[in-house]
Amino acid sequence: MPLPLSGKSRVYAILGDPIAQAGSPGLFNRAFRREGIGAVLVPIQVSADGLDAILAAFRAARNMDGLVVTVPHKIAIADRLDEIGPMAARIGAVNAIRKLPDGRLLGENFDGAGFVHGLRRRGHSLREKNVLVIGAGGAGRAVAHAVLDERPCTLGIYDIDRGRISQLSDDLQRHASNTLVSHAEPDAYGFDVIVNCTSLGMRDGDPLPLRLDGLDQRALVVDIVLEPSTTPLLHQAAARGCPTHEGIHMLDGQVEEICRFFGLLDERHDD
């Protein structure tokens, strides 16, 4: 039974800049109501130079237990925490933070798991596919590592920052077995799955993240941008007859895991 918001409610927040596009408040608060958890998750817009202040406030707030982290803070916030989990350490980015009983902050990353779970729920597989990941920021790194674990045939990485491509490619090569990891260009030709992990498409007038001239009609086009749900990339891909996959599926695929990380799924209320 849903619990009313009260002075006893536990508080969680999602940090980002911008934040208006975030789908987390709706998804998490619905999960809290469904599970009878006395908690609320609120959006907080904070710029990069405000991260230290917001983490200090989080440490001090005695009724605040966890944070979700979105664009553009997933990489920058990792170094500000007391401890990070194995996936966050592998990726170098954090998207969830839990306050431990002793006050220390523990960060972990669930983007990759959410990405793969979302695809599987919609009947899509990455096994032995040629996959292009566009964007090597926090989300792109998580998605690329998750894709690699699904054993694709090839994994191409593109980012406007060549240094980011090299760093991510080197990281991936250390974990690759039979998958060929390569630097790619923003071109759809030759790929079975294309994943946009940039913020392009979030704002009016954004260019497409890649060229679609060589897009195969059978290719799956994925965009992790949440708002708008149908980005210009997905709209144009669908117009060409391609299957598409919206960003909400990646977020929906990790809500349960993040709630478990926060220690909330064992919290039940009978009143």
- Residues annotated as part of the active site: 74
Tokens of 117: 């779970």
CA 209 to each of CA 135, 197, 202: distance values in angstroms, whole numbers, following the listed order: 9, 9, 11
